[in-house]
Protein backbone atom coordinates (compact mmCIF):
# COMPACT_ATOMS: atom_id res chain seq x y z
CA UNK A 1 0.00 0.00 0.00
CA UNK A 2 1.30 3.43 -0.94
CA UNK A 3 2.08 5.89 1.86
CA UNK A 4 -0.58 8.27 0.56
CA UNK A 5 -3.19 5.50 0.79
CA UNK A 6 -2.10 4.64 4.33
CA UNK A 7 -2.44 8.27 5.38
CA UNK A 8 -5.92 8.45 3.82
CA UNK A 9 -7.06 5.26 5.60
CA UNK A 10 -5.74 6.56 8.88
CA UNK A 11 -7.63 9.82 8.42
CA UNK A 12 -10.87 7.96 7.67
CA UNK A 13 -10.48 5.82 10.82
CA UNK A 14 -9.82 8.94 12.86
CA UNK A 15 -12.95 10.67 11.54
CA UNK A 16 -15.09 7.60 12.16
CA UNK A 17 -13.88 7.30 15.75
CA UNK A 18 -14.39 11.01 16.31
CA UNK A 19 -17.89 10.84 14.90
CA UNK A 20 -18.72 7.86 17.08
CA UNK A 21 -17.48 9.62 20.21
CA UNK A 22 -19.41 12.74 19.27
CA UNK A 23 -22.62 10.74 18.78
CA UNK A 24 -22.08 8.96 22.06
CA UNK A 25 -21.52 12.13 24.05
CA UNK A 26 -24.45 13.92 22.43
CA UNK A 27 -26.76 11.02 23.23
CA UNK A 28 -25.92 11.45 26.90
CA UNK A 29 -25.92 15.25 26.79
CA UNK A 30 -28.27 18.00 25.75
CA UNK A 31 -30.70 15.91 23.70
CA UNK A 32 -31.33 13.51 26.58
CA UNK A 33 -31.43 16.30 29.12
CA UNK A 34 -33.83 18.46 27.08
CA UNK A 35 -36.15 16.24 25.09
CA UNK A 36 -38.63 19.07 24.58
CA UNK A 37 -36.09 21.20 22.70
CA UNK A 38 -36.27 18.94 19.67
CA UNK A 39 -40.05 18.81 19.59
CA UNK A 40 -41.46 22.22 20.45
CA UNK A 41 -39.32 24.17 17.97
CA UNK A 42 -38.68 27.11 20.30
CA UNK A 43 -34.93 26.88 19.74
CA UNK A 44 -35.27 26.85 15.94
CA UNK A 45 -33.96 29.81 13.97
CA UNK A 46 -37.29 29.60 12.11
CA UNK A 47 -39.43 29.66 15.27
CA UNK A 48 -40.80 33.09 14.29
CA UNK A 49 -42.25 31.76 11.00
CA UNK A 50 -46.05 31.80 11.06
CA UNK A 51 -48.29 29.24 9.38
CA UNK A 52 -49.23 30.50 5.92
CA UNK A 53 -52.86 30.32 4.79
CA UNK A 54 -53.85 27.78 2.17
CA UNK A 55 -53.87 28.99 -1.41
CA UNK A 56 -57.48 30.13 -2.01
CA UNK A 57 -57.80 27.91 -5.09
CA UNK A 58 -55.65 24.91 -4.22
CA UNK A 59 -56.97 25.05 -0.66
CA UNK A 60 -60.39 24.09 -2.00
CA UNK A 61 -58.97 20.74 -3.09
CA UNK A 62 -57.34 20.25 0.31
CA UNK A 63 -60.72 20.70 2.02
CA UNK A 64 -62.42 18.48 -0.56
CA UNK A 65 -59.98 15.62 0.02
CA UNK A 66 -60.66 15.72 3.76
CA UNK A 67 -64.42 15.35 3.26
CA UNK A 68 -65.53 11.69 3.56
CA UNK A 69 -68.94 12.33 1.95
CA UNK A 70 -69.71 10.07 -1.04
CA UNK A 71 -71.57 12.90 -2.80
CA UNK A 72 -68.81 15.50 -2.54
CA UNK A 73 -68.04 17.52 -5.66
CA UNK A 74 -64.91 19.58 -6.38
CA UNK A 75 -65.56 22.53 -8.68
CA UNK A 76 -62.59 24.57 -7.50
CA UNK A 77 -59.46 23.71 -9.42
CA UNK A 78 -59.33 24.32 -13.16
CA UNK A 79 -58.52 20.91 -14.56
CA UNK A 80 -60.56 19.03 -17.15
CA UNK A 81 -62.47 15.92 -16.13
CA UNK A 82 -64.29 13.34 -18.21
CA UNK A 83 -68.00 12.60 -17.94
CA UNK A 84 -66.96 9.99 -15.37
CA UNK A 85 -65.12 12.63 -13.35
CA UNK A 86 -61.66 11.31 -14.21
CA UNK A 87 -58.53 13.12 -15.41
CA UNK A 88 -57.73 12.47 -19.05
CA UNK A 89 -54.55 12.05 -21.08
CA UNK A 90 -55.23 12.86 -24.72
CA UNK A 91 -54.63 10.15 -27.31
CA UNK A 92 -52.43 12.54 -29.28
CA UNK A 93 -50.30 13.04 -26.18
CA UNK A 94 -50.02 9.27 -25.58
CA UNK A 95 -48.91 8.72 -29.17
CA UNK A 96 -46.38 11.54 -29.04
CA UNK A 97 -44.94 10.15 -25.81
CA UNK A 98 -44.74 6.70 -27.38
CA UNK A 99 -42.70 8.14 -30.25
CA UNK A 100 -40.38 9.93 -27.85
CA UNK A 101 -39.84 6.93 -25.57
CA UNK A 102 -39.03 4.66 -28.50
CA UNK A 103 -36.56 7.08 -30.06
CA UNK A 104 -33.25 5.66 -28.78
CA UNK A 105 -31.35 8.67 -30.14
CA UNK A 106 -32.97 10.97 -27.53
CA UNK A 107 -30.84 12.01 -24.59
CA UNK A 108 -31.45 13.87 -21.34
CA UNK A 109 -28.93 16.67 -21.78
CA UNK A 110 -29.61 20.20 -20.57
CA UNK A 111 -31.65 22.34 -22.94
CA UNK A 112 -30.46 25.81 -23.97
CA UNK A 113 -31.64 28.60 -21.68
CA UNK A 114 -34.47 29.48 -24.09
CA UNK A 115 -35.56 25.85 -24.46
CA UNK A 116 -36.28 23.74 -27.54
CA UNK A 117 -35.95 25.87 -30.69
CA UNK A 118 -38.59 23.92 -32.62
CA UNK A 119 -41.05 24.16 -29.74
CA UNK A 120 -40.56 27.93 -29.62
CA UNK A 121 -41.03 28.35 -33.35
CA UNK A 122 -44.18 26.21 -33.46
CA UNK A 123 -45.64 27.89 -30.35
CA UNK A 124 -45.27 31.34 -31.89
CA UNK A 125 -46.90 30.07 -35.08
CA UNK A 126 -49.79 28.53 -33.13
CA UNK A 127 -50.64 31.70 -31.24
CA UNK A 128 -49.79 34.36 -33.86
CA UNK A 129 -50.82 32.42 -36.97
CA UNK A 130 -48.77 30.81 -39.72
CA UNK A 131 -49.13 33.92 -41.89
CA UNK A 132 -48.17 36.40 -39.15
CA UNK A 133 -46.14 39.30 -40.61
CA UNK A 134 -44.24 39.54 -37.32
CA UNK A 135 -43.05 35.93 -37.69
CA UNK A 136 -42.25 36.33 -41.37
CA UNK A 137 -40.20 39.44 -40.61
CA UNK A 138 -38.37 37.73 -37.70
CA UNK A 139 -39.66 40.29 -35.20
CA UNK A 140 -40.75 37.71 -32.61
CA UNK A 141 -38.63 36.20 -29.87
CA UNK A 142 -40.04 33.16 -28.07
CA UNK A 143 -38.64 31.39 -25.04
CA UNK A 144 -39.85 28.15 -23.46
CA UNK A 145 -41.04 28.70 -19.89
CA UNK A 146 -42.64 26.85 -16.99
CA UNK A 147 -46.25 26.87 -18.20
CA UNK A 148 -48.30 30.05 -18.13
CA UNK A 149 -47.25 31.12 -14.65
CA UNK A 150 -43.56 30.91 -15.50
CA UNK A 151 -44.12 32.75 -18.77
CA UNK A 152 -45.86 35.59 -16.93
CA UNK A 153 -43.10 35.75 -14.33
CA UNK A 154 -40.29 35.86 -16.89
CA UNK A 155 -42.15 38.52 -18.85
CA UNK A 156 -42.83 40.53 -15.70
CA UNK A 157 -39.20 40.48 -14.57
CA UNK A 158 -38.00 41.43 -18.05
CA UNK A 159 -40.35 44.43 -18.07
CA UNK A 160 -39.34 45.48 -14.56
CA UNK A 161 -35.70 45.59 -15.70
CA UNK A 162 -35.99 46.99 -19.20
CA UNK A 163 -39.30 48.81 -19.71
CA UNK A 164 -39.68 52.46 -18.79
CA UNK A 165 -43.12 52.13 -17.17
CA UNK A 166 -43.29 49.71 -14.24
CA UNK A 167 -47.05 49.79 -13.67
CA UNK A 168 -49.26 46.98 -14.92
CA UNK A 169 -53.05 47.19 -15.04
CA UNK A 170 -54.90 43.91 -14.52
CA UNK A 171 -58.66 43.28 -14.82
CA UNK A 172 -60.85 43.27 -11.74
CA UNK A 173 -61.35 40.44 -11.01
CA UNK A 174 -58.59 38.26 -12.40
CA UNK A 175 -56.80 34.99 -11.71
CA UNK A 176 -55.57 35.23 -8.12
CA UNK A 177 -51.95 34.49 -8.97
CA UNK A 178 -51.61 37.46 -11.35
CA UNK A 179 -51.22 39.97 -8.54
CA UNK A 180 -48.49 37.97 -6.79
CA UNK A 181 -46.61 37.10 -9.97
CA UNK A 182 -46.33 40.69 -11.16
CA UNK A 183 -45.75 42.24 -7.74
CA UNK A 184 -42.89 39.82 -7.06
CA UNK A 185 -41.55 40.57 -10.55
CA UNK A 186 -41.00 44.16 -9.45
CA UNK A 187 -44.03 45.80 -11.07
CA UNK A 188 -46.65 48.01 -9.44
CA UNK A 189 -50.06 46.38 -9.86
CA UNK A 190 -53.22 48.40 -10.47
CA UNK A 191 -56.65 47.29 -11.67
CA UNK A 192 -59.14 48.28 -14.34
CA UNK A 193 -62.85 47.58 -14.24
CA UNK A 194 -63.89 44.46 -16.11
CA UNK A 195 -66.81 42.52 -14.60
CA UNK A 196 -70.24 43.97 -13.90
CA UNK A 197 -71.93 42.04 -11.05
CA UNK A 198 -75.29 43.56 -11.93
CA UNK A 199 -75.35 42.09 -15.45
CA UNK A 200 -72.85 39.29 -14.76
CA UNK A 201 -71.23 40.46 -17.97
CA UNK A 202 -68.54 42.85 -19.17
CA UNK A 203 -68.30 46.37 -17.75
CA UNK A 204 -67.09 47.65 -21.09
CA UNK A 205 -67.59 51.34 -20.37
CA UNK A 206 -65.68 51.06 -17.10
CA UNK A 207 -62.89 49.20 -18.88
CA UNK A 208 -62.54 51.95 -21.50
CA UNK A 209 -62.61 54.70 -18.88
CA UNK A 210 -59.95 53.09 -16.69
CA UNK A 211 -57.57 52.27 -19.54
CA UNK A 212 -58.23 55.72 -20.99
CA UNK A 213 -57.02 57.31 -17.75
CA UNK A 214 -53.96 55.04 -17.40
CA UNK A 215 -50.61 56.80 -17.88
CA UNK A 216 -49.08 56.59 -21.34
CA UNK A 217 -46.87 53.52 -21.68
CA UNK A 218 -48.48 51.52 -18.87
CA UNK A 219 -48.63 47.74 -19.26
CA UNK A 220 -52.09 46.19 -19.64
CA UNK A 221 -52.75 42.53 -18.88
CA UNK A 222 -55.41 41.05 -21.16
CA UNK A 223 -56.97 37.59 -20.99
CA UNK A 224 -56.83 36.34 -24.58
CA UNK A 225 -60.03 34.29 -24.20
CA UNK A 226 -62.11 32.50 -21.54
CA UNK A 227 -61.47 35.14 -18.88
CA UNK A 228 -60.63 33.59 -15.51
CA UNK A 229 -62.59 33.69 -13.22
CA UNK A 230 -65.64 35.23 -14.92
CA UNK A 231 -65.87 33.47 -18.30
CA UNK A 232 -66.78 36.88 -19.76
CA UNK A 233 -64.98 37.91 -22.96
CA UNK A 234 -65.27 41.05 -25.10
CA UNK A 235 -66.85 40.67 -28.53
CA UNK A 236 -64.60 41.08 -31.57
CA UNK A 237 -66.02 44.59 -32.05
CA UNK A 238 -65.19 45.45 -28.43
CA UNK A 239 -61.70 43.98 -28.86
CA UNK A 240 -61.17 46.36 -31.78
CA UNK A 241 -62.12 49.34 -29.61
CA UNK A 242 -59.77 48.10 -26.90
CA UNK A 243 -56.97 47.75 -29.45
CA UNK A 244 -57.47 51.26 -30.79
CA UNK A 245 -57.47 52.72 -27.28
CA UNK A 246 -54.34 50.84 -26.22
CA UNK A 247 -52.43 51.84 -29.35
CA UNK A 248 -53.58 55.48 -29.17
CA UNK A 249 -52.33 55.73 -25.57
CA UNK A 250 -49.09 53.83 -26.33
CA UNK A 251 -50.01 51.23 -23.69
CA UNK A 252 -48.19 47.89 -23.83
CA UNK A 253 -50.47 44.83 -24.11
CA UNK A 254 -49.46 41.66 -22.27
CA UNK A 255 -51.76 38.76 -23.20
CA UNK A 256 -52.28 35.74 -20.97
CA UNK A 257 -53.36 32.87 -23.23
CA UNK A 258 -54.17 29.91 -21.02
CA UNK A 259 -57.11 28.49 -22.98
CA UNK A 260 -56.41 28.68 -26.72
CA UNK A 261 -58.81 26.22 -28.40
CA UNK A 262 -60.26 25.27 -25.04
CA UNK A 263 -62.83 28.08 -25.00
CA UNK A 264 -64.61 27.87 -28.36
CA UNK A 265 -63.05 24.67 -29.66
CA UNK A 266 -61.23 26.66 -32.36
CA UNK A 267 -57.52 27.47 -32.02
CA UNK A 268 -57.83 30.29 -34.53
CA UNK A 269 -60.94 31.90 -33.05
CA UNK A 270 -59.49 31.93 -29.54
CA UNK A 271 -56.28 33.56 -30.79
CA UNK A 272 -58.01 36.23 -32.90
CA UNK A 273 -57.66 39.12 -30.40
CA UNK A 274 -53.90 38.53 -30.13
CA UNK A 275 -53.48 38.24 -33.90
CA UNK A 276 -55.37 41.49 -34.43
CA UNK A 277 -52.97 43.32 -32.12
CA UNK A 278 -49.92 41.69 -33.73
CA UNK A 279 -51.13 42.60 -37.24
CA UNK A 280 -51.09 46.34 -36.55
CA UNK A 281 -47.31 46.41 -36.28
CA UNK A 282 -47.22 47.31 -32.60
CA UNK A 283 -45.35 45.52 -29.85
CA UNK A 284 -46.85 43.08 -27.34
CA UNK A 285 -46.16 40.14 -25.05
CA UNK A 286 -47.97 36.78 -24.97
CA UNK A 287 -47.77 34.12 -22.27
CA UNK A 288 -48.91 30.68 -23.50
CA UNK A 289 -49.81 27.58 -21.54
CA UNK A 290 -50.35 24.02 -22.77
CA UNK A 291 -51.82 22.87 -19.45
CA UNK A 292 -55.45 23.05 -20.50
CA UNK A 293 -55.49 22.60 -24.28
CA UNK A 294 -53.15 19.60 -24.26
CA UNK A 295 -53.90 18.42 -20.74
CA UNK A 296 -50.23 18.79 -19.79
CA UNK A 297 -50.94 20.27 -16.36
CA UNK A 298 -48.10 18.60 -14.48
CA UNK A 299 -45.56 18.88 -17.30
CA UNK A 300 -45.39 22.67 -16.88
CA UNK A 301 -45.12 23.60 -20.56
CA UNK A 302 -45.44 27.18 -21.70
CA UNK A 303 -43.90 29.91 -23.83
CA UNK A 304 -43.36 33.64 -23.69
CA UNK A 305 -43.39 35.46 -27.03
CA UNK A 306 -42.50 39.13 -27.42
CA UNK A 307 -43.40 40.83 -30.68
CA UNK A 308 -40.91 43.62 -31.38
CA UNK A 309 -40.55 46.40 -33.95
CA UNK A 310 -37.47 44.98 -35.67
CA UNK A 311 -35.38 41.82 -35.95
CA UNK A 312 -32.48 43.55 -34.23
CA UNK A 313 -34.60 44.54 -31.23
CA UNK A 314 -36.02 41.01 -30.99
CA UNK A 315 -32.50 39.58 -30.82
CA UNK A 316 -31.46 41.94 -28.04
CA UNK A 317 -34.67 41.25 -26.13
CA UNK A 318 -33.93 37.51 -26.28
CA UNK A 319 -30.42 38.09 -24.94
CA UNK A 320 -31.89 39.83 -21.89
CA UNK A 321 -34.58 37.18 -21.41
CA UNK A 322 -31.75 34.68 -21.03
CA UNK A 323 -30.36 36.78 -18.18
CA UNK A 324 -33.76 36.65 -16.46
CA UNK A 325 -34.14 32.89 -16.89
CA UNK A 326 -30.61 31.73 -16.05
CA UNK A 327 -30.64 32.60 -12.30
CA UNK A 328 -34.34 31.72 -11.98
CA UNK A 329 -34.38 28.09 -13.17
CA UNK A 330 -31.37 27.90 -15.50
CA UNK A 331 -33.19 26.15 -18.35
CA UNK A 332 -36.58 24.50 -18.86
CA UNK A 333 -37.47 20.78 -18.71
CA UNK A 334 -37.36 18.70 -21.87
CA UNK A 335 -40.20 16.17 -21.79
CA UNK A 336 -43.39 18.22 -21.94
CA UNK A 337 -42.12 20.61 -24.59
CA UNK A 338 -40.99 17.64 -26.67
CA UNK A 339 -44.56 16.29 -26.56
CA UNK A 340 -45.92 19.62 -27.76
CA UNK A 341 -43.35 19.95 -30.54
CA UNK A 342 -44.07 16.40 -31.70
CA UNK A 343 -47.81 17.07 -31.94
CA UNK A 344 -47.47 20.45 -33.61
CA UNK A 345 -45.05 19.17 -36.28
CA UNK A 346 -46.92 15.96 -37.13
CA UNK A 347 -50.03 16.61 -39.25
CA UNK A 348 -51.81 13.42 -38.14
CA UNK A 349 -51.17 14.05 -34.45
CA UNK A 350 -52.10 17.71 -34.86
CA UNK A 351 -55.41 16.81 -36.49
CA UNK A 352 -56.18 14.24 -33.79
CA UNK A 353 -55.35 16.78 -31.10
CA UNK A 354 -57.69 19.42 -32.55
CA UNK A 355 -60.53 16.88 -32.63
CA UNK A 356 -59.93 15.97 -28.98
CA UNK A 357 -59.59 19.63 -28.05
CA UNK A 358 -62.94 20.50 -29.61
CA UNK A 359 -64.54 17.53 -27.83
CA UNK A 360 -63.35 18.91 -24.48
CA UNK A 361 -64.63 22.39 -25.31
CA UNK A 362 -67.96 21.00 -26.52
CA UNK A 363 -68.44 18.96 -23.34
CA UNK A 364 -67.95 22.08 -21.23
CA UNK A 365 -70.44 24.01 -23.39
CA UNK A 366 -72.88 21.10 -22.93
CA UNK A 367 -72.46 21.31 -19.14
CA UNK A 368 -73.35 24.99 -19.28
CA UNK A 369 -76.56 24.24 -21.14
CA UNK A 370 -77.49 21.36 -18.81
CA UNK A 371 -76.95 23.45 -15.68
CA UNK A 372 -78.94 26.35 -17.10
CA UNK A 373 -81.81 24.02 -18.06
CA UNK A 374 -81.75 22.37 -14.61
CA UNK A 375 -82.06 25.74 -12.85
CA UNK A 376 -84.86 26.77 -15.18
CA UNK A 377 -86.70 23.51 -14.46
CA UNK A 378 -86.46 24.16 -10.71
CA UNK A 379 -87.74 27.72 -11.08
CA UNK A 380 -84.60 29.02 -9.35
CA UNK A 381 -85.04 32.76 -8.70
CA UNK A 382 -82.95 35.10 -10.84
CA UNK A 383 -81.62 35.30 -14.38
CA UNK A 384 -79.15 32.47 -15.02
CA UNK A 385 -78.56 33.13 -18.72
CA UNK A 386 -75.01 34.24 -17.92
CA UNK A 387 -74.13 30.56 -17.49
CA UNK A 388 -74.61 29.95 -21.22
CA UNK A 389 -73.32 33.39 -22.27
CA UNK A 390 -69.99 32.98 -20.49
CA UNK A 391 -67.30 30.86 -22.10
CA UNK A 392 -64.45 28.55 -21.15
CA UNK A 393 -63.66 26.46 -18.13
CA UNK A 394 -65.16 28.74 -15.47
CA UNK A 395 -68.49 30.29 -14.64
CA UNK A 396 -68.88 33.21 -12.28
CA UNK A 397 -72.18 32.14 -10.73
CA UNK A 398 -72.93 35.32 -8.81
CA UNK A 399 -73.26 33.36 -5.57
CA UNK A 400 -71.90 35.17 -2.50
CA UNK A 401 -69.50 33.79 0.11
CA UNK A 402 -72.31 32.86 2.52
CA UNK A 403 -74.12 30.91 -0.18
CA UNK A 404 -70.90 29.14 -1.17
CA UNK A 405 -70.31 28.17 2.48
CA UNK A 406 -73.88 26.88 2.71
CA UNK A 407 -73.42 24.71 -0.38
CA UNK A 408 -70.20 23.29 1.02
CA UNK A 409 -71.70 22.56 4.43
CA UNK A 410 -75.04 21.18 3.26
CA UNK A 411 -74.28 19.70 -0.15
CA UNK A 412 -70.51 19.01 0.04
CA UNK A 413 -69.86 21.11 -3.06
CA UNK A 414 -66.47 22.83 -3.09
CA UNK A 415 -65.67 26.04 -4.97
CA UNK A 416 -63.81 29.29 -4.38
CA UNK A 417 -65.57 31.76 -2.08
CA UNK A 418 -66.20 34.22 -4.93
CA UNK A 419 -68.68 31.78 -6.49
CA UNK A 420 -66.48 30.63 -9.36
CA UNK A 421 -67.12 27.07 -10.50
CA UNK A 422 -65.17 24.91 -12.92
CA UNK A 423 -67.61 23.68 -15.55
CA UNK A 424 -65.04 21.02 -16.50
CA UNK A 425 -65.63 19.36 -13.14
CA UNK A 426 -69.32 18.77 -13.85
CA UNK A 427 -70.99 15.78 -15.46
CA UNK A 428 -74.49 14.82 -16.51
CA UNK A 429 -74.74 12.86 -13.26
CA UNK A 430 -73.65 15.72 -10.99
CA UNK A 431 -75.53 18.63 -12.63
CA UNK A 432 -78.79 17.87 -10.74
CA UNK A 433 -76.92 17.86 -7.40
CA UNK A 434 -75.34 21.24 -8.18
CA UNK A 435 -78.66 22.68 -9.38
CA UNK A 436 -80.36 21.54 -6.16
CA UNK A 437 -77.61 23.19 -4.12
CA UNK A 438 -77.77 26.49 -6.02
CA UNK A 439 -81.55 26.56 -5.77
CA UNK A 440 -81.39 25.97 -2.01
CA UNK A 441 -78.65 28.55 -1.56
CA UNK A 442 -80.44 31.39 -3.36
CA UNK A 443 -83.79 30.66 -1.71
CA UNK A 444 -82.51 30.12 1.83
CA UNK A 445 -79.33 32.22 2.15
CA UNK A 446 -79.29 35.96 1.37
Instruction: Return the DSSP state at 258.
Output: S
Q: Taking 80 as the threshold, does the pLDDT of residue 259 lie above it?
A: yes
Q: CA 328 → CA 157, 225, 248, distances in Å?
A: 10, 29, 35
Q: Which residues of 412-445 are buried (b: 16+ CB within 10 A; e: fewer)?
A: bbbbbbbbbbbbbbbbeebbebbbbbbbbbbeee
pLDDT digits (tens, 9 = 90+) for 23-63: 444 443 444 444 444 567 789 999 999 999 888 878 888 99
pLDDT band at 111 (very low <50, low <70, confident <90, very high): very high
Mean pLDDT of 309-333: 98
Bridge partners (DSSP) of residue 362 are none
Burial class (CB in 10 A: 0-12, 13-18, 19+), 378: middle
- Mind telling me the catalytic residues? 175, 256, 292
Q: Could you read off the pLDDT of 363-397 as tens digits, one per residue?
A: 999 999 999 999 999 999 999 999 999 999 999 99
322-325, Cβ contacts within 8 angstroms, sequence gap of 24 or more: 322/113, 322/114, 322/143, 324/154, 324/157, 324/158, 324/161, 325/113, 325/114, 325/143, 325/145, 325/154
Decide the pairing of beta strands 420-422 and 413-414.
Answer: unpaired
pLDDT tens, residue by residue, 136-177: 999 999 999 999 999 999 999 999 999 999 999 999 999 989
**Listing from the earlier edge strand, what are the strands of the sheet with 167-172?**
140-146, 301-307, 284-289, 252-257, 219-223, 167-172, 188-193
The DSSP call for residue 57 is T
149 HSE (CA, 13 A, CB side): 13
Predicted confidence (pLDDT) at residue 116 exceeds the cutoff of 50: yes
Instruction: Specify the DSSP class assigned to residue 413.
Output: E
What is the per-residue pLDDT across 394-412, written as a single tens digit (0 to 9) for each?
999 999 999 999 999 999 9
Q: What is the pLDDT of residue 57?
A: 79
Distance CA 85, CA 73 (A): 10
CB-based contact 95:439 (threshold 8 Å)? no
Please say whether the beta carbons of 220 and 255 come within 8 A.
Answer: no
Show the domains of the chain with their CATH numbers. 57-88+361-444 (3.90.1150.10), 110-345 (3.40.640.10)
pLDDT band (50, 70, 90) for residue 16: very low
Distance from C-alpha of 161 to C-alpha of 316, rounded to nearest angstrom: 14
Q: What is the pLDDT of residues 348-362, one digit of tens each?
A: 999 999 999 999 999
Question: If you average pLDDT over residues 432-442, what whole number do you get?
Answer: 97
CA dist 300 and 298 (Å) reads 5
Cα dihedral sign, 142-144-147-152 = negative
Amino acid sequence: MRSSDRRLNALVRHLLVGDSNSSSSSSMGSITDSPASASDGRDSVFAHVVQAPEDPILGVTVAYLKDPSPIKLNLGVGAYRTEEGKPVVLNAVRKAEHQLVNDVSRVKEYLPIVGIAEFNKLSAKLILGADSPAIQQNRVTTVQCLSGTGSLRVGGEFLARHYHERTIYIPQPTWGNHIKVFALSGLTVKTYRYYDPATRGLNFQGLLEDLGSAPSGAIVLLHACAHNPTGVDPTLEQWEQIRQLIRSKALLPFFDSAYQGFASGSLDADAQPIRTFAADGGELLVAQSYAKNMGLYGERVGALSIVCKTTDVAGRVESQLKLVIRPMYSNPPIHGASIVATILRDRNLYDEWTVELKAMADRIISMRRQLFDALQARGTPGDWSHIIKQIGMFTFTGLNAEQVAFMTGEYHIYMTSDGRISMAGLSTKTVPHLADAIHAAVTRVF
